[in-house]
Amino acid sequence: MTAIALGAAILAPGLAEAQAPQFFRIGTGGAGGTYFPIGGIIATGISNPPGSRPCDKGGACGVPGLVAIVQSSDGSVGNINAVNSGQMESGIAQSDVTHWAYTGTGLFEGRPKVETLRVIANLFPEHIQVFAKGTGGVTSIEQLKGKKVNYGPPASGTLVGARLFFEVYGLKEKVDVQPEFLNPQPAADRIRDGQLDAAFLIAGTPTAALVELASTVGMTLLPVEGAMREKVLKAIPFWSETTIPAGTYKGIDKEIPTVAVGAWWVTNNKQSEDTVYKVTEALWNKNTRELLDNGHAKGKAILRDNAVKGVSIPFHPGAEKYYKEVGLLK
């Protein structure tokens, strides 16, 4: 895994000795997806390294002494495992995968419950995006039978979702479709080069890998609609009906019906109440708001008023304390 420390400052020797930084890792996903850039923005917002200039003088406005680090990973399942084991202090994960892990249901049926998980915030909706080359001739999901299709990398929520999704469509893995297990950018590259017919992705829009594909060789987004959409939603209750707006990607000039799932920022119950309270407070301060609004198109969808909506497992006590203070929780 790669790690990028964000919001770092040059420390004055005396201050560095007086106050050691507290590191707070955020597990994200591949660089071509949405978790990685959003995690980077959040890390910048909540960081305030020792020796930083005060917030009111143009410096960092995060948690004093805290240095947040964004780490790329395969995605939801990997992040949940890392948070549970203590390899990372926090991570972004799909709501369905998180709920299944906590309750020992769904994907985690028969496995030990990951009862250490706690939520910091519901962040944004992730769209199910099934995409192909604009000139590849594939215009519907049903046409993927006999094709090479990317399911997503191991330990990702995308892979979990792909298997559930294509099962609803009656497309059996390794029987009806030839699966690949790549991150978004390599998958888009192979579609561009004709080595892959299509790819399944769960990510906030616009997604960097898809932006590049659409702007170079063109891209087709395959709709999830009608009776099949209803079957998908019945089979996967955590998913909801939505659309990808026209103009999200170059050449996509009409609204594309699909489905979506929430992305949660999670931590474990071993993190101190004080740290998570301050991290939650910093997530929703004016400085982070500005970073989110200007740093990524999906950042505008990350709203404090939605932070507790749809959350089905416990909040971390620090986050819960903050949301009660601002009236979002009773």
Asked if omega into 184 is within 30° of 0 (cis), the reply is no
pLDDT digit string, tens, across residues 12-43: 344 444 568 999 999 999 888 999 999 999 99
Provide the angle, in degrees to the nearest 10, between the axes of the packed helices 35-46 and 286-295: 150
Name which of 55, 58, 88, 49 is nearest 70 in CA terms.
88
Amino acid 16 reads A
Q: Is beta strand 178-180 parallel, antiparallel or unpaired with respect to 219-221?
A: unpaired
pTM beyond 0.75, yes or no:
yes
Q: What is the pLDDT of residue 8?
A: 39
Name which of 68, 92, 65, 61 is nearest 78 in CA terms.
92
Q: How far apart, in whole angstroms, are the C-alpha atoms of residue 52 and residue 282?
A: 15
Q: What are the tokens at 16?
A: 């560095």
3-state secondary structure the chain: CCEEECCCCCCCHHHHHHCCCEEEEEECCCCCCCHHHHHHHHHHHHCCCCCCCCHHHCCCCCCCCEEEEEECCCCHHHHHHHHHHCCCCEEEEEHHHHHHHHHCCHHHCCCCCCCCEEEEEEEEEEEEEEEEECCCCCCCHHHHCCCEEECCCCCCHHHHHHHHHHHHCCCCECCCEEEECCCHHHHHHHHHCCCCCEEEEEECCCCHHHHHHHHHCCEEECCCCHHHHHHHHHHCCCCEEEEECCCCCCCCCCCEEEEEEEEEEEEECCCCHHHHHHHHHHHCCHHHHHHHHHHCHHHHHCCHHHCCCCCCCCECHHHHHHHHHCCCCC
Q: Is beta strand 219-221 parallel, antiparallel or unpaired with respect to 117-133?
A: antiparallel
User: Which residue ranges of the chain lie beneath pLDDT 50?
Assistant: 1-17
Amino acid 37 reads P
pLDDT digit string, tens, across residues 252-269: 999 999 999 999 999 999
Neighbouring residues of 252: CB distance < 8 A, sequence distance ≥ 6: 214, 219, 221, 244, 246
Cβ–Cβ under 8 Å, residues 228 and 169: yes
Q: What is the pLDDT of residue 9?
A: 37
Q: What is the pLDDT of residue 31?
A: 85
Q: What is the pLDDT of residue 18?
A: 52
